[in-house]
Amino acid sequence: DRLRARGRKLGDASLEELDAIWEEIKTMTNDE
C-alpha cells in the first residue's frame, strides 16, 4: 500500500513536471 501511495504521488508530480517541461519546450521552439 505504501509503495502504491508513493507511486501515485510520484505520478502526480511527474505529470506536473511534464507540464512544466512541455511549457519550456514550447517556449524554446518559439524562440527558434
For 1-32, give the DSSP string. Answer: -HHHHHHHHHHHHHHHHHHHHHHHHHHHHHH-
- Judged against a pLDDT cut of 80, whether residue 12 lies above it is answered with no
- pLDDT tens-place string over residues 13-30: 788 888 999 999 999 888
Integer CA distances (angstroms), 14 to 2, 25, 30, 31, in order: 18, 16, 24, 25
- Judged against a pLDDT cut of 70, whether residue 32 lies above it is answered with no
More confident residue, 26 or 5: 26
| Residue ranges covered by each domain of the chain | 1-31
Q: Tell me, what's the pLDDT at 20?
A: 92
More confident residue, 4 or 22: 22
Q: Tell me, what's the pLDDT at 3?
A: 81
Residue carrying the nine cell digits 519546450? 25
Residue carrying the nine cell digits 511527474? 14
